[in-house]
Amino acid sequence: MTQNEALDILKTGANVFLTGEPGAGKTYTINEYIRYLREHEIETAITASTGIAATHIGGMTIHSWSGIGIKNKLTKYDLDKISCNEYVCRRIRRAKVLIIDEVSMLSADTLLMIEAVCREVKQKAEIFGGLQVIFVGDFFQLPPIVKNFEQDPQSSLYENKTESIFACNSIVWERARPIICYLDEQYRQDDTDFLTILSAIRANSFCESHLEKIKSRKVEKTKLPKNVPKLYSHNFNVDFVNTETLAKIEKEIETFEMSAVGHSALTTILKKGCLSPEILSLKIGAEVMFTKNNQKEGFVNGTLGTVVDFSRGTRYPIVKTRSGRTIEVEPMEWVVEENGKIRARIIQIPLRLAWAITVHKSQGMSMDSAIMDLSEVFEYGQGYVALSRVRRLSGIYLIGINEKAFKVHPEVLLKDKNFKKESAEAKKMFGEIPQDELQKMHENFIIASGGEIKVSGKIRKEKKERRWEKTLELIKSGKTIAEVAKERSRTGETIIEHLEELKKINKLPIKEINHIFAKDDSKIKKIYPVLKKMGPEPLRPIFDHFKGQFSYETIRLARLLL
């Protein structure tokens, strides 16, 4: 499938899995779709499974966006707490489209948690609370890192969980029913022989002749080129290279020591999971990577830069990022919470040295050349990811390899065949839709998302408040919510949203729209006093109080009367 064919499908508002080989243009395609959504003023959540991937599409990690953080399980208590977080709720409620990049590194359980949060905050029964969800990635690349836990963390959220670690095999993926858009063009690699090798790895047909070509790129350590980034499979090797390179810089060293507060067992867990070292040594000229998200200051976990100075007063490092932004980097906290209380915290400058990086951190990058040590590869996809970062075979400087370096996960091999088949079917089906009909589908999605239609190259402006008032005019004429939704090509939930927004600005004349409550009058009479007692936010406690007897839509109608 071409990029334009995929874009045509994305614009219909369908859930989509955008995939393809490294260099096929997944990031370019999704950035084009983001530009389109912004052009039509559709609120879009741009996220990724890792900090580095998030920087490639100008977003944030899905863990931060959804409010789940580093959680590996999600209880009803957690859901209630997240749904009361003003900042998380605001961004989720506003979003009409959710993009998740590098989905291969997102576990099935994490995807389950994200979906549960979206439904809870949106207070809609639809999958992901009615958001259009775009999964982006390639399951031949690095799989999620999954730890074993004694408890079944998600038993209260979904039944019949799959045992697979991959997001594409989760019950959430199945219910989202994404259309597969498998890009088959190639824009990164321009070396035919190299492309043949990469394709052989994906097809599990990697043989001796392919291995010989790879081995031809082996280089003695004494003959390695300078100023070429190094890729390793383990943090130990990365730390050694970074420490050694730092020592060669003839500048004064500045050292920052991590502080910890709380139970020693909990602070030990925090330190183990923190990408910043306990003792961080820096010099002017040091290549660094940010290890934490700070949207306000303009960096995320994975942002790369160079130390250009140290603050005269605080001696905090001043870093110039690859994008040209200069940031004075202050200490930040990593915390463990339990029942709403902070039980432990560590504090450190959110940086680490970055002359060498792990293969995991390199995913999504494009390089002209790289020095690679694949002798200690321990995970499916590691060797493939490392090789595919580079544009041509001549850009690879190989230190070592092992027998697992070019193996791919058998579960992914089988899944990939299905993806290609489904993509071909989708291409055929959408290719048969007349262009004017397809354009109408695009416009219907824009309208349903509260966006703006382009007419003759210009945006047809209609202020949001005017949209709400148009809805109100139709209801005041005697129409029901269902009738207004049909006339305005919206959903019933969107019409209720319009009424809720009018209520916020004191422009909802209840007496003039009483007929919309008549159908559910007996239900509303039961809900209203409970709402009054328990409060209007969040709605989950009301829903649970009635044990699911009343839909969120009915509860929201009752809330309009408060």
What average pLDDT score do residues 303-327 get?
A: 91
Instruction: At 467, list the tokens.
Output: 């949209």
Could you report the per-residue pLDDT of 287-298, keeping only the tens digit for each? 988 888 777 787
Least confident of 31-40, 108-117, 338-347, 357-366: 338-347
Helix (H, G, I), strand (E, B) or coil at 511: helix
* Unique residue bearing structure tokens 């219909």: 12
Residue 347: predicted pLDDT? 93
130 or 488, greater pLDDT:
130
What average pLDDT score do residues 283-289 get?
A: 92
Please say whether the beta carbons of 117 and 92 come within 8 A: yes
pLDDT at 340 > cutoff 60: no
Residue 89: predicted pLDDT? 85
Measured distance CA(45)–CA(58) in Å, rounded = 10
Measured distance CA(508)–CA(514) in Å, rounded = 11
Could you report the per-residue pLDDT of 190-222, keeping only the tens digit for each? 678 888 888 888 888 888 899 899 999 999 888
Measured distance CA(494)–CA(486) in Å, rounded = 11
Q: What is the mean pLDDT of the chain?
A: 84
Could you report the per-residue pLDDT of 384-397, keeping only the tens digit for each? 888 888 888 998 99
CATH fold, domain 3-187+412-442, is Rossmann fold (3.40.50)
Least confident of 125-134, 144-153, 304-313, 531-540: 144-153
Residue 112: predicted pLDDT? 92
pLDDT at 182 > cutoff 70: yes
The predicted model scores a pTM of 0.68
Residue 151: predicted pLDDT? 43
Residue 36: predicted pLDDT? 93
Residue 155: predicted pLDDT? 45
**Half-sphere CA count of 295, side-chain side, radius 13 A:** 9
Helix (H, G, I), strand (E, B) or coil at 164: coil
> DSSP H helical segments within 373-463, as ranges?
382-388, 410-431, 435-448
Residue 439: predicted pLDDT? 92
Which amino acid is present at 197?
A: I
Residue 337: predicted pLDDT? 62
Could you report the per-residue pLDDT of 502-537, keeping only the tens digit for each? 888 888 888 888 888 888 888 888 888 888 888 777
Q: Where are the domains of the chain?
A: 3-187+412-442, 218-401, 464-560
